[in-house]
């Protein structure tokens, strides 16, 4: 491939951008966090890399680039980046799916153990200097359901199955004709989600946010849960009806929730989640390992090499579906 112009939507001083020096010398790079930063380079751009820019900025810059062939998003979630012009275009869209899945799988396991062993009570007793013996729960033999069995969902299942948990999964297209996944006992379609949810001791939500999934875990789903059930959200906040979840948690209709994502971030001061004793709250950082940004940039560099050689790109998004 001849010279390629890459527009990088990011604050130019972000340290990981130095890794772009590994791109071939004939590559032209323009980085910035405003439309003005790309006015000169946009007509020649073949690639847009949305490193940390907003969906709004991406839409404006995309409209300036008649020749763009590939758009890559550092993030896995694309709900704020799938504007109509991009969806309708011939440009290939890829994302960071899979780059951050292993630590998200570990967070789900940690959250399960947190509630099973009542670590909050242990910490509280230790701080109070109280010797407080109580019974804990064994997760061996318990059931975990995964809503959204993509790369993150499989990372969760990979960690739960060896712990002796029975793993169920909910997928958009339902169960395949021949079930061959050794990690999952059964796969359900969306129409059977209440049936699956009723069986779960832990419900791990890992679905992307699309018009189909927005609010898919709501009042009916919480009513179907066991009173001992725990909800874990590592997907996108609005997949769960937040008001219905607060009500279920406040009334003690479910045991608890471990949340890494929310409707609005950062979570507003005084939000009920801060004061609920049965909530484990992570400020959307459960995948922030010390090298998470370097890993994201390394993935783009590997992708660019594929693009340059005309090889198939990884994580090609079905734009009309949103993932």
Q: How far apart are CA 118 and CA 112, in angstroms?
A: 10
By residue count, the chain amounts to: 323
CA proximity to 97, closest of 249, 220, 208: 208
Catalytic (active site) residue 284: yes
Confirm whether 161 is a catalytic residue.
no
Per-residue tokens: 256: 């608890």
| Residues in Cβ contact with 87 at an 8 Å cutoff, skipping those fewer than 6 apart | 319, 320
Q: Which of 120, 271, 284, 298 is catalytic?
A: 284
275 catalytic, yes or no? no
Answer whether the bond into residue 209 is a cis peptide, omega within 30°: no
319 CB neighbour count, 10 Å cutoff = 18
* Catalytic annotation, pick one of 265, 294, 305, 311: 265
For the annotated catalytic residues, the residue numbers are 236, 265, 284
């Amino acid at each position: 491939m001849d010279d390629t112009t890459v527009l990088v939507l990011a604050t130019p001083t972000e340290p990981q951008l130095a890794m772009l020096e590994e791109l071939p010398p004939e590559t032209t790079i323009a980085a910035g966090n405003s439309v003005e930063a790309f006015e000169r380079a946009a007509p020649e751009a073949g690639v847009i890399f949305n490193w940390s820019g907003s969906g709004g900025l991406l839409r404006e810059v995309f409209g300036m680039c008649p020749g763009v062939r590939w758009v890559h998003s550092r993030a896995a979630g694309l709900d704020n980046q799938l504007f109509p012009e991009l969806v309708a275009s011939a440009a290939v869209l890829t994302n960071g799916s899979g780059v951050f899945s292993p630590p998200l799988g570990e967070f789900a396991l940690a959250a399960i153990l947190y509630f099973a062993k009542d670590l909050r009570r242990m910490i509280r007793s230790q701080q109070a200097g109280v010797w407080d013996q109580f019974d804990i729960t064994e997760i061996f033999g318990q059931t975990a359901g995964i809503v959204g069995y993509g790369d993150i969902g499989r990372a969760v299942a990979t960690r739960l199955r060896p712990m002796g948990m029975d793993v169920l999964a909910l997928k958009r297209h339902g169960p395949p004709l021949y079930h061959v996944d050794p990690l999952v006992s059964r796969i359900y379609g969306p129409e059977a989600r209440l049936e699956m949810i009723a069986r779960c001791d832990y419900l791990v939500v890992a679905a992307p946010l699309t018009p189909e999934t927005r609010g898919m875990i709501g009042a009916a789903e919480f009513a179907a849960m066991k009173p001992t059930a725990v909800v874990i959200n590592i997907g996108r906040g609005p997949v769960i009806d937040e008001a219905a979840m607060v009500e279920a948690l406040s009334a003690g209709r479910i045991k608890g929730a471990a949340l890494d994502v929310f409707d609005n971030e950062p979570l507003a001061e005084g939000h009920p989640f801060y004061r609920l004793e049965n909530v484990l709250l992570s400020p959307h950082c459960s995948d922030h390992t010390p090298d998470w940004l370097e890993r994201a940039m390394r993935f783009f560099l590997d992708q660019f090499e594929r693009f340059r050689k005309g090889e198939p790109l990884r994580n090609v998004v079905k734009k009309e579906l949103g993932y």
